[in-house]
Amino acid sequence: MSLIAPSILNADFLHLQEQIEIINRSDADWIHLDIMDGVYVPNISFGFPVVQAVKSISKKPMDVHLMIVQPEKYLKKFTENGAFNITVHYETCTHLHSTIHQIKDLGVKVGVALNPHTEISLLKPVLEDIDMVLIMTVNPGFGGQKFIHYSFEKIRELRKISEDYNPGLLIQVDGGITLENIGKLKQAGVDVFVAGTFVFKSKDPIRTIRSLKESS
């Protein structure tokens, strides 16, 4: 089975502890934290106080996705606040190779995210140095968007390329994940599924997470 990483971006922040405890009781493998700065993406999510609060109650590993400019300024602090994996965007890192090794030196896993318009081939120089690639299957910034179908082609291309550069590479997708497409995405080569709206807007998030797990 694949890994399921519910994103708290779409959680009820008035009842955040309750929402995290639901994830704790579920079959979810990771908990996904989308950090947005209102500069790189047209939205602001949350900062270190929320990350610290999540760390204090989460029983799942914290998968941190930095949709921010100059992510290298905050890598150490996110690590200190519980991140087991830090994903940065290809598009925001002027010196991507250096940023990757900064993360590795902190002792955590490293991922690189690609926006829908960014070509897979651009990652070839760093594929052997990273643990995961996050393919954005919607435009970053807001939850609840429609899945971009071209993503299937990018996933298949990445899976093929990774066989030569990094056979153990994890492929993660984020955006528009549902029970209708998760099986096809698994077949295309996806290992980790981020789901926010589909989980937290459902009547029974625990059952929804279980269904996603079983369908992948």
Catalytic residue ranges:
34, 174
DSSP assignments along 111-162, one per residue: EEEE-TTS-GGGGGGGGGG-SEEEEESS-TT-SSPPP-TTHHHHHHHHHHHH
Question: Can you read off the two tokens belonging to residue 128?
Answer: 């052997």
How does DSSP classify residue 26?
A: S
Question: Contact, 196 vs 33, CB < 8 A?
Answer: no
Give strand pairing partners of 5.
194
Tell me phi and psi for residue 51, to 5 degrees: -60, -45
DSSP assignments along 72-123, one per residue: GGTHHHHHHTTEEEEEEEGGG-TTHHHHHHHHHHTTSEEEEEE-TTS-GGGG
